[in-house]
Amino acid sequence: ESEAHLGALMQNLRVTLRGVGSIGGKAEIPMLESIKTSEESFGRLKNDRHHRAQARMISEWVAEAVKLIKFRG
């Protein structure tokens, strides 16, 4: 059943990454980078154009979170 919920799971990942970017510290950056390295694996979870487009956005979401953390110092 998880394939039927991948859209919601990807949205939750996006919200989580934004939250970590907002309140996380430099200690979270390696965890964020490890998520980025799994982008290809996320894309293969469902053979759907919309899902693959969301999976490609993971790198951007991670980069934004890292940028927010670094900006706060």
Give the model's pLDDT for residue 58. Answer: 93
pLDDT of residue 73: 74
Q: Are 17 and 39 in contact (CB under 8 A)?
A: no
Is the CB of residue 11 less than 8 Å from the CB of residue 58?
Answer: no
- pLDDT of 67 reads 96
Tell how far CA 7 is from the center of its chain: 13
Chunk the chain into consecutive blocks of 10 residues (it has 73) and report each block's average pLDDT, rounded to whole numbers.
85 95 96 92 89 91 96 85
Per-residue pLDDT, 1? 67
SS3 40: helix
* pLDDT in the model for residue 8: 92
Whole-prediction pTM? 0.85
**Do the Cβ atoms of 18 and 61 come closer than 8 Å?**
yes
